[in-house]
Amino acid sequence: MAHKLYKVDKKSGKVTSERRPCPRCEKGTYMAEHFDRYACGRCGYTEFKRKK
């Protein structure tokens, strides 16, 4: 089963998150991705996606 939250670089073995971190909360808090926005469930911070 493939993980969707993290990406592993096969060359260096470095693990990175696929989710956007919340700019207002501490490290390790990520924002949920919705079809039209990113939202933090902890502090309520919201960023809207731009329409093309």
pTM over 0.85: no
Residues 10-30: what's their mean pLDDT?
93
For residue 40, being part of any structural domain is answered with: yes
* Number of helices followed by number of strands (H, E) in the chain: 0, 5
For residue 11, being part of any structural domain is answered with: no
Rounded percentage of the chain residues whose pLDDT exceeds 70? 96
For residue 37, being part of any structural domain is answered with: yes
For residue 51, being part of any structural domain is answered with: yes
The residue range of the domain holding 48 is 22-52
SS3 12: coil
Which pLDDT score, from 0 to 100, does residue 42 have?
Answer: 95
Number of domains in the chain: 1
Is the pLDDT at 2 greater than 70? The verdict is: no
Length of the chain: 52
For residue 52, being part of any structural domain is answered with: yes
For residue 2, being part of any structural domain is answered with: no
Q: 39: pLDDT confidence band, cut at 50, 70 and 90? A: very high
